[in-house]
Amino acid sequence: MATTATHPGSRPGQRYVPPAPLGGRGPLSARMRRRLTILVFLIPAVTILGAFVFWPMISALLLSFTNANGFRVPEFIGLENYLAVFTDEQVLRSMGNTVLYAALFTPTVVVVALLLALALNHPRLPLRGMFRTFLFIPFIVSLAVAAFAWQYLLDPQIGLVNYWLRGLGVQIGNVFQDPALAMPAVALIAVWKTFPFYMIVFLAGLQDIPPSLYEAARMDGAGAWGRFRHITVPLLGNTTGFVVVIATIAALQAFDQIYVLTGGGPYRSTQTVVMQIYQSGFKDLDLGFAAALSYVLLVATLILGLVQFWISSRRAEAAV
C-alpha cells in the first residue's frame, strides 16, 4: 500500500522510500547469511572429525598418562609410560627395526618411482597411456592382499618365484623365516605396492618443467646425463623432498604387510614401532604404554613434516 511522503524536502504525493542501512549491516545482512551458510555446511564435517579424530586423539593423550589396561580404573602415573618408551629394550629394538625398514624402503621406492616416471615422460615412448595404467595397478590393491599374494609367490615349495630361481640354479628358503632376509623382503613388497603413487607425483613434477629448457640445453651440446643433472634434478627438488618425506612417514607407519607376512618375527627382526603398539595395546593390554608410544611416533612424524616444510620454504626463498 503506497504511503505519501512526509519527509522534509519531498514533493506532495511523492512516495517515500526509507534509506537502506549503511554498509548493509541489517539483522541478516548478505555477509551474515553467507557466514551462516558456511557454518551449516561445516557442521557435519566438523562433527565427524570431532567424533572420530579429535576426541580419540585427546582420549589417547589422556590415556598415555595412566596405567589403563581396559579392566581396572585407570590411575594417573605421570610420565612413567614416556620414560619407559625410551628405556624398554623391546621398544628400542623396534625403533631400530623401523629405522632399518625406512632405510631400505625410502631410497628404493624413490629411485624406482623416479626412473619409471622419467621413462613414462619420454615423448617417444609408444603406448605411454597403457603403460601408465598398467604400472598403477599395484597401488589400487590392498597392502594386506598384496602381502598374501607375495607370501604364496615366495613360498619355498609352491611359489612361482622360487620355481623360476631354481630354474636358474638359485635355491632360497623361506625368506620370511630368515632374520637376515625378512626385513628386506617386506620392504621390497612395500616398494612394489606403493611406487605407483610416488611415480605419479614425479610424473606431475616432470610435466611442469618447460620443454624449452631441454631444447636449449640440447642445442648447447648437453647430453642426457647433463640435462638430467642440471635441469631435471634441480627443478624436481621440491617434488623429491615431498616424496622422500611422505615415503619416510609411510615407512614409520608400516604395519599391514608385516602383520600378514611375519607378525613381527622371526625373533622380532621385523617388529616395528606400530607392531609394538599393537603388541602392547591389544595383546599385553598395556593401553597407557601403547598410547604413549603412539604419541612418540606422532611427534616424530610431525618433525619430519616440519623439516620438509622448512626445506621447501628455503628453496622457495632461494629461487626468488
Phi, psi of 76 (to 5 degrees): -70, 125
Binned at pLDDT 50, 70 and 90, residue 107 comes out as very high
Cis preceding linkage at 138, omega within 30 = no
The residues near 292 (Cβ < 8 Å, ≥ 6 apart) are 64, 65, 81, 82, 84, 85
Q: For the chain, which residues make up each domain, given as ranges?
A: 29-63, 89-319
Kindly give, in sequence order, each residue whose CB lies less than 8 Å from that of residue 226, ignoring residues fewer than 6 positions away.
217
- Nearest by Cα to 59 from 47, 46, 50: 50
pLDDT digit string (tens) for 44-63?
999 999 988 889 899 989 99
Please list, in sequence order, all residues whose beta carbon lies within 8 angstroms of the beta carbon of residue 301, skipping any fewer than 6 positions away. 249, 252, 253
Enumerate helices (H) and strands (E) in the chain, giving the number of each: 15, 0
Residues 249-273: tens digit of each pLDDT: 999 999 988 998 888 888 889 999 9
Say whether pLDDT at 2 is over 50: no
The mean pLDDT of 226-240, rounded to a whole number, is 87
pLDDT value at residue 43: 92
Query: For cell 605407483, what's the residue?
Result: 196
pLDDT value of residue 189: 92
- pLDDT higher than 70, residue 279: yes
Q: How many whole angstroms separate alpha carbon 141 and alpha carbon 254?
A: 16
Q: Find the mean pLDDT for residues 239-253.
A: 90
- What single string gives the DSSP state of each residue in 223-269? -HHHHIIIIIHHHTHHHHHHHHHHHHHHHHT--HHHHHHTTT-STTT
Specify the amino acid at residue 183: M
Phi first, then psi, for residue 66 (nearest 5°) are: -125, 175
Distance between CA atoms of 27 and 115, rounded to whole angstroms?
61
Q: Which CATH class is domain 89-319?
A: mainly alpha
- The pTM (predicted TM-score) of the whole model is 0.81
In the DSSP assignment, the letter for residue 175 is: G
- Asked whether residue 1 carries a pLDDT value surpassing 50, the answer given is no
Return the SS3 of 81.
Answer: helix
